[in-house]
Amino acid sequence: MLPIKLEDFLPHEKLQEMNEKEIKILEAAIDIFAEKGFVSTSTNEIAKKANVAEGTIFRYFKTKKDLLKSIIKPTLVKTIAPFEMDRFSKAVFHMEYDTFEDFLKVLIVNRMEFAKKNTAVIKIIIQEIPFQEEMQEELKKLFKEKMYPRVENVLQYFIDKGQIADLPIHTILRLIITSVMGLVVSTIALKDISIWDENLEIERTIQFIKQGLQ
């Protein structure tokens, strides 16, 4: 895996108000957390990789756990965010997509790109969320308040148009998320294997979900 560059996925304003050392610490921490897990990574190791003194870490992050939170939170927010803010979301809410298939395509391509940019942090989130109650709450809140209401709207729209079956929203959502995450995880895990043709698998997954929900 290539070393992380924070500028790839932290908002510009945020980055500008961050110190260079702080950034290097975050980048180093993401790299090593993803590789060895949070608990198995020592602050000493992070300091060395970030080329700072161990004490410097604690100037920017009160504790090691704080450092973890600083890594997880923005990505958690950005995982959910598109559903409320970006081009994609606005488009959907203006019902610019006529078909569920178009919607799926945009959703999947968008989240796949995001996942590939944020592989390391996503790994960390998947590993650590089960043990970080605070982050679990954050995730639940984001899901409930930011994501679910918008998605409910969209899905209801397609149900009403008769493009997908009249199942409970939470069931539809589960089946979609499950399939998309399966695709994402497979892509990350298998991306080096020759038989894996990403575009083909994306297309097949779209068809699978679409038909499955008909």
Partner DNA sequence: TATGAATGAGAATTCATTCAT
Partner DNA sequence: AATGAATGAATTCTCATTCAT
Give the residue, chosen from 36, 62, 65, 144, that forms a contact with a second copy under the rule CB under 8 A.
36
Residues of span 91-120 touching a second copy by CB under 8 A:
none
Listed residue (75, 96, 79) closest to 87, CA to CA: 96
Q: Which is nearer to DNA, 29 or 76 (CB)?
A: 29
Q: Which is nearer to a second copy, 16 or 211 (CB)?
A: 211
C-beta separation of 77 from 118 below 8 A: no
17-32 residues labelled b (16+ CB within 10 A) or e (exposed): eeeebbbbbbbbbbbb
Listed residue (174, 214, 182) closest to 201, CA to CA: 182
Residues of span 21-60 touching DNA by CB under 7 A:
21, 40-45, 52-59
Residues of span 60-89 touching DNA by CB under 7 A:
62-65
Q: Identify which range of 34-42, 44-52, 73-81, 88-96 contacts a second copy by CB under 8 A.
A: 34-42
- Count how many residues are written for the chain: 214
Q: Does 186 bind a second copy (CB under 8 A)?
A: yes
Helices (H) and strands (E) in the chain, counts: 12, 0
Please count the CA atoms within 13 angstroms of the CA of 190 that sit on its side-chain side.
Answer: 12
Applying CB under 7 A, the residues found at the interface with DNA are 19-21, 40-45, 52-59, 62-65
Applying CB under 8 A, the residues found at the interface with a second copy are 36-37, 39-40, 123, 127, 130-131, 167-168, 170-171, 174-175, 177-179, 181-183, 186, 195, 201, 204-205, 207-209, 211-214
